[in-house]
Chain A
Amino acid sequence: MMAAASSMEAEVAALRARYAAGRTRAAEWRAAQLRGLLRMATEMEAEVCHALHADLAKPHTESYVHEISLVKSSCKFAVKNLKKWMKPKKVPASLMTFPSTARVTAEPLGVVLVISAWNYPFLLSIDPIIGAIAAGNAVVLKPSEVAPATSSLLAELLPRYVDGACIKVVEGGIAETTALLDQMWDKIFYTGNGKVGRIVMASAVKHLTPVVLELGGKCPVVVDSNVDLHVAAKRIAAGKWGCNNGQACTAPDFIVTTKSFAPKLLEALEKVLEKFYGNDPLRSSDLSRIVNSNHFNRLKGLMDDQMVSDKIIFGGQRDERQLKIAPTIYLDVPLDSAIMKEEIFGPLLPIITVEKIHESFALINSMTKPLAAYLFTKDSNLQDQYETSISAGGMLVNDTSVHLTNQYLPFGGIGESGMGAYHGRFSFEAFSHKKAVLVRGFAGEAKARYPPYSPAKLKVLKGVLKGNLGVMIQAILGCPRGK
């Protein structure tokens, strides 16, 4: 372990030296890396899908739609906008410092660490490093060991497609991650859960490293009666079970709807689920499996909880050997049950009913802020109220999950669901420092600035700071006279 830690130190030091030599700064280098990643995602599609299937039994289509295509569009977007993002922005300089010019220039932070998660192991590894590279940093990527096939594929592929001297993959588990967190980083980007998020932030204190934490939460879905029910049911089902069988940070965690509408919603969901996965969902190849036995046992525990086991109204089938759990729906579980207190991260969907749909707001606000909050309704008043009453990283009306495919929207959490955001330009900014540059000349000297102070000087300063043009001109002309 000691040898590993000191060799890691040496590796990071070497990265730092290459960064300091300016290797990652030029736009050409950055664009070349991004194109390399794009080529990798295109040429290695089959290999990536194969690894994702090994790790998660992820259906090919999900792998393509949710991981590969998002990586490709992210690369293309970054390449297209790179020059624009890199260009310094002129800003107004104050009349107070006349004559002067001011600009804000984006510079890389230096050497950054990206720690990825197991549920979208390809996307959540490459998407953040796209931002880090576009911003001109050297990068270390630590893929999740809980998705080992994807981790070793990334370790093998990245050096073939990008500059392996400045972009490194370090594989491993807790020991290796701890050793990495001990090194000096200019930024740490972590995707995962709140418990480890706290450990990452606490480790970051050592070198005063700023962090982005993309964490989880319970993403609520409020379903009004004023909806196109069939479409809503499909979109909810796609966002829940069509996303890694519920193992996604933006998957709908639970539904809130009115008592009167619940039966209709339930019927629509059952119909959709049968269409998607057939009569025997455990046999469907379109359903991901649970990632490992730890998580399977965790979900089993939630299902077998006495408080909720009699509230199950659909599904419940499971196969421990294959680590598969079928889409399962509960009705009105107690709010203090484990399934309503923890992030489910699996194919269990509680439906909570209320008398009036507005009661859902108080319920959601009593919980910690989620990464995403969903609402299905055609009522624009209800939409507005939801938007102003609920705080979340992101909000989506009449659909689930797709907002994260929009490169123009920041993607990140708030409160327990995280801090910082990325995607598109926000990725570039997450890994940049906005440096203010103010350029003055030697003209425009205002004696009133300097001691010895006097009431006359104070008067001039007041005029200048209030923006009084006449006083400013006087100041520039050298009033008050004398010292």
Chain B
Amino acid sequence: MAPGLGAMGEKPAAATTTKHLCVGSMASGLREVYESGRTKDMEWRQSQLRGLIRLLTDKEEEIFDVLHEDLGKHRGESFRDELGILVKSVKYTLQNLKKWAAPEKAEAPLVAFPATAMVVPEPLGVVLIFSCWNLPLGLALEPLSGALAAGNAIVLKPSELAPSTAAFLAANLPKYLDSRAVKVVLGGPNVGEELMEHRWDKVLFTGSERVGRIIMTKAAKHLTPVALELGSKCSCIVDWLDGERDRQVAVNRIIGAKWSTCAGQACIAIDHILVEEKFAPILVELMKSTLKRFMAKPGGMARILNEKHFQRLSAYLEDTKVAASVVHGGCIDPKTLTIEPTILLNPPVDSDVMTEEIFGPILPIITVKKIEDSIAFLKSKPKPLAIYAFTTNESLKRRIVEETSSGSVTFNDAVVQYALESVPFGGVGHSGFGQYHGKYSFELFSNKKAVFKRSFLIEFMFRYPPWDDSKIGTLRHVFSYSYILLFLTLLGLRR
């Protein structure tokens, strides 16, 4: 039985708050724990993952409550996007952990015979995870599960902008996990900055580009390796689709990936659509009618996070040219911080709504003459976290994959790639670097140590000085793996 679980009668450590935070002593305490070997132990890692699963199942109702408090998410959305995926993911990690942690044999060249070569995964040590407010449970616990699986000690700093979830994590992680090796630190940007004054063996940051740069700058002082999961404008190309059924399915999925995903406040939500001008009216009509159905009951869409984001989003609509492009919705209510699902048709491409990451329930639709023109549009923009395309045209699909660059590409659906453990999740270019999910989470928090073992048997004298031409000649055979020539040379049959 792995040590240190609250359930075994030990008093869990209280979560630290800004008032009592002493990062230095917390970090060195964690390092001592790590160096004792506690977190490397396979049974410990498995017990932590099981503890996480128990937390997610025992506290399901409370989780729905805090996500609703923070973001107004309906439990259906919370389960689909956060809780359900997490449980599935942690189970997958638990199933595969032994395999991932096992040393991998590598080939050793014959000249090194006898020798064994291996790549041995080892934990990095003490790692720091910053999570974001929009998927406050998922973006904290998915990386946490990877760091635990890899055998690290961990500090988690949840976003203060989702305070109920942060408090929930601070209260419950010490109960279900080994509180001596996993710490939750609450607080705002100043706490984040203080944390980054110290050296960590890895930092994973999910959030905005602006803060990502601050994190990386501070990390550079200590040569702390970082992974940055940043935002971007995820484009969705919608090709001409035949048949009512396909069209309806596409629209369902588009609406699901925009308004049903934290009201568009997600790094992988559809930011805007690119569609042929002929198809645009069909698309818009179908979207309007489907939106009406989906949003018929309250709770169909999460809340805008706070006043600041409400102002930011309302400001997009205050631009007169943008306001003129509204074809659906557009109503805002400052009292309830509500913005109804809004569709824009061809707002100016240099307007703020078309240059900044929207992160909200406003969907610009940009029309192009031919659908292939959307590829040039994509290539002119910074690389996004995801590109989506609804199409049955195989040649268009191929061109999108080969000519554009993004974290990922999904055809005929959106956002679902987040739930797939077999593919890496992460950005490229301005959308970030470093990948996780599934085995990639394990690897993100591991060091792949090369281990090469030789024996004293078989010693080649031509390795050593003093040098002369015949030694060089022999070495040439070695390096071109000319084993026969080498053999003959060793036998003295060739110079």
Contact = CB atoms under 8 A, between A and B. Distances in A.
Contact of A284 (B421, B451, B466): B466
B112 interface: yes
Interface string A411-443: 100111011010000000000011111111110
Contacts, number: 291
Nearest to A433: B428
A139 B452 CA distance: 32
Given A61-B465, A409-B450, A465-B84, A91 B422 contact: yes
A22 B375 CA distance: 14
Given A208-B212, A436-B425, A451-B294, 10 more contacts: A96-B416, A102-B422, A205-B216, A232-B456, A234-B459, A395-B451, A406-B117, A415-B223, A442-B250, A461-B84
Nearest to B222: A198
Given A64-B475, A208-B212, A439-B397, A449 B451 contact: no
A72 B479 contact: yes
Contact of A194 (B75, B79, B223, B402): B223
Interface of A: 20, 22, 25, 59-61, 64-65, 69, 72-73, 91-94, 96-97, 100, 102, 104-105, 107, 109-110, 186, 194, 197-198, 201-202, 204-205, 208, 210, 213, 215, 227-228, 231-232, 234, 237-238, 242, 275-278, 284, 286, 365, 378, 383, 387-388, 391-399, 402-403, 405-406, 408-411, 414-416, 418-419, 421, 433-442, 445, 449-454, 457-458, 461-462, 465-467, 483
Interface in B106-152: 106-109, 112, 117, 119-120, 122, 124-125
A234 B460 CA distance: 11
A202 B411 contact: no
A398 B430 contact: no
A8 B225 CA distance: 29
B405 A433 contact: yes
Interface stretch (B269-277, B296-304, B366-374): B296-304
Contact of B412 (A72, A439, A452): A439
Interface stretch (B1-9, B252-260, B355-363): B252-260
Contacts of B74: 451, 453
B293 interface: yes
Nearest to B403: A22
Sorted from nearest, which 10 A-B pairs have the closest CB atoms? A453-B76, A451-B300, A436-B423, A465-B84, A228-B456, A403-B452, A201-B220, A408-B106, A394-B450, A409-B450
B319 interface: no
A394 B451 CA distance: 6
Contact of A208 (B119, B379, B419, B430): B430
A454 B76 contact: yes
A395 B103 CA distance: 13
B454 A402 contact: yes
B88 interface: yes
Interface of B: 35, 40, 74-77, 79-80, 84-85, 87-88, 106-109, 112, 117, 119-120, 122, 124-125, 201, 209, 212-213, 216-217, 219-221, 223, 225, 228, 230, 245-246, 249-250, 252, 255-256, 260, 293-297, 299-301, 379, 397, 401-403, 405-413, 416-417, 419-425, 428-430, 432-435, 447-456, 459, 463-467, 471-472, 475-476, 479
Given A402-B112, A440-B410, A396 B454 contact: yes
Given A197-B223, A457-B76, A409 B119 contact: yes
B429 A97 contact: no
12 contacts: A194-B223, A198-B220, A208-B212, A276-B464, A393-B449, A406-B109, A438-B416, A439-B412, A450-B294, A451-B74, A453-B297, A466-B87
B137 to A, nearest CB: 14
A92 B405 CA distance: 22
Give chain B's interface secondary structure class: mixed
Contact of A105 (B40, B212, B401, B447): B401
A365 B35 contact: yes
A22 B404 CA distance: 11
B464 A238 contact: yes
Given A94-B420, A201-B219, A286-B466, A451 B299 contact: yes
Contacts of B419: 94, 96-97, 465
A381 to B, nearest CB: 13
Nearest to A187: B433
A217 B166 CA distance: 39
A201 B223 contact: yes
B245 A61 contact: no
Given A60-B472, A437-B409, A450-B256, A97 B416 contact: yes
Contacts of A92: 422
